[in-house]
Amino acid sequence: MNPDLALLHWLNDFVGVCPPLDWIARALVNDFAIPTICALVAVALWFAGATAAERTRNQRAVILIALGILFSQALIKDLAGWYFRPRPFAVEPVKLLFYRPSVSSFPSIPIAVVFTFAAGAWRANRRVAQGLIGLGIAYAWARVYAGVHYPSDVLGGALIGAGMIWMLARLGFFFEPLADQFIRIARRCGLA
């Protein structure tokens, strides 16, 4: 048995053994709770900062996150057209704690989103980013535990999300002037 499959079954075999663990996994695994928390953190980051320079750095990070999500989701959509991986519950005997998504299992879209938030926040506030990374790891665990993803799916999603931020940050010479212009407009409109 390959390590990806072995880890999936090892984690998923705990489903039904410890009801509090199942409850935690159900709370974490859904498509909305963790991404919504990440979005609220990004909104708070947008308005945070004791100085103008700190606020500008935070706002650039939020814009980078938005662009990272846009481009990572476009990449994942293109990958899905090229490679479709069935979900674990479709091909393996797993105990499912979640509904049956029909999109490709690889890479994990929700995990890519959360790690895009975490990597973008890293550029502005390391403590906030560490919290988002912890949330992302818990979310990835829950997605595998619940039988929705293979471990390599969540790893691939995390790498795509964080990698997209890294790539966009390398293109800062192009995006930063656009971000600064957007921030100036937002400030004139009272939105920053």
pLDDT digits (tens, 9 = 90+) for 77-94: 999 889 999 999 999 999
Question: What pLDDT does 172 receive?
Answer: 87
Phi-psi region of 38 (alpha: psi -120 to 50; beta: other; left: phi over 0): alpha
Question: What pLDDT does 45 receive?
Answer: 97
Residue 1: pLDDT band (50, 70, 90) is low
Q: Are 124 and 61 in contact (CB under 8 A)?
A: yes
Q: Are 158 and 112 in contact (CB under 8 A)?
A: yes
d(CA 61, CA 137): 21
pLDDT in tens, 32-55: 999 999 999 999 999 999 999 999
Tokens 């509090």, residue located: 20
- Asked if pLDDT for residue 154 goes beyond 90, the answer is yes
Residue 188: C-alpha distances to residues 62, 63, 182, 184 (Å): 18, 17, 10, 6
d(CA 85, CA 126): 34
- Asked if pLDDT for residue 31 goes beyond 90, the answer is no
119-127 mean pLDDT: 96
154-165 mean pLDDT: 98
Question: What pLDDT does 50 receive?
Answer: 92
Q: Which CATH class is domain 3-10+30-188?
A: mainly alpha
**Residue-wise DSSP of 12-37:** HTTTTT-HHHHHHHHHHHSSSHHHHH
Residue 153: pLDDT band (50, 70, 90) is very high
62-87 mean pLDDT: 95
Question: What pLDDT does 118 receive?
Answer: 98
- List the structure tokens of 87: 């979900």
Question: What pLDDT does 98 receive?
Answer: 84
d(CA 185, CA 79): 35
pLDDT in tens, 168-192: 999 988 889 999 999 999 999 988 8
Q: Are 168 and 115 in contact (CB under 8 A)?
A: no
Question: What pLDDT does 171 receive?
Answer: 93
How many alpha carbons lie under 13 Å from residue 98 in its C-beta half-sphere?
24
Closest CA to 53 of 137, 124, 107: 124
Average pLDDT, the chain: 94
CA 19 to mean position of chain CA atoms: 26
Q: Are 89 and 96 in contact (CB under 8 A)?
A: yes
- Asked if pLDDT for residue 97 goes beyond 90, the answer is no
Percentage of the residues of the chain whose pLDDT score is greater than 70: 99
Question: What pLDDT does 90 receive?
Answer: 92
What's the distance, Cα to Cα, between the start and end of the chain in Å? 53
